[in-house]
A = this chain, B = another copy of it.
Amino acid sequence: MGYTYQYPRPSVTVDCVVFGLDLAAEDLKVLLIQRKKDPFAGLWAFPGGFVEEDETLEESAKRELQEETGISRLYLEQLYTFGDPGRDPRGHTVTVAYYALVKLSDHTPKAADDAKAVDWFSVSKPPKLAFDHAKILKMALARLRAKVRYQPIGFELLPAKFTLSQLQRLYEIVLERPLDKRNFRKKILGMGLLIDLEETQKDVAHRAAQLYRFDEERYRGLVAEGFNFEI
């Protein structure tokens, strides 16, 4: 039993580069799964798998993520498609890579799901990766760093309620450079995209900061008028 075609076809897979922000450790993390089988048994790889009949690429990416890591709510965007004939030793495989942003607090430990080891790693010192996943990670990071500056996707990495300092730290971690506190606040508040929740942090050993949330509706309205987000 099998599926027969007149011409050879490459396999088609999806891979998800899932980023999470660890505010406590001030570090950007990536979610990886340890491979149990060859090729590359023991190495780490992005969650992903074969595209099935009658599903879109994005559905496929979401399904694989759900199956392998339990993650469901996330920001997902297509990154790039990798199709070099030698990238999978089992045969020509084209993979459509996605990158995803999740609120780390919603998906914290998440180790050992269905017998597979799943863990978060610092993007700056990942373990040895299977296939061409190191190259994919590099591209995903470059995309995230570029995109975070002109699209308000950073909020996807923060809890729904956040302080201005947390938001600033997010940008500092992703962009790997310090930002001036007063200028940052002036700029971000000036956009009018943050809603002051009139609520402050609890249980912090210093002056409690004001909490905000991102005003997505207003962002959509402003974009329609030609507004450009920029950090």
Residues of A within 8 A of B (CB): 2-12, 50-57, 78, 80-81, 83-85, 92, 94, 96
Contact = CB atoms under 8 A, between A and B. Distances in A.
Contact of A2 (B6, B78, B84, B85): B6
13 contacts: A2-B5, A3-B4, A3-B5, A3-B7, A4-B4, A4-B5, A9-B10, A10-B12, A12-B12, A53-B92, A56-B84, A57-B84, A94-B96
Nearest to A97: B81
A8 B1 CA distance: 11
Most B Cβ at <10 Å: residue of A80, A81, A92: A81
A96 B56 CA distance: 14
B83 A56 contact: yes
Contacts of A83: 12, 51, 56-57, 96
B9 A9 contact: yes
A11 B94 CA distance: 11
Given A2-B6, A3-B8, A5-B9, A56 B85 contact: yes
Given A12-B94, A55-B85, 14 more contacts: A3-B4, A3-B6, A5-B11, A8-B52, A9-B9, A9-B11, A9-B12, A10-B53, A51-B94, A56-B83, A57-B84, A57-B94, A78-B80, A94-B96
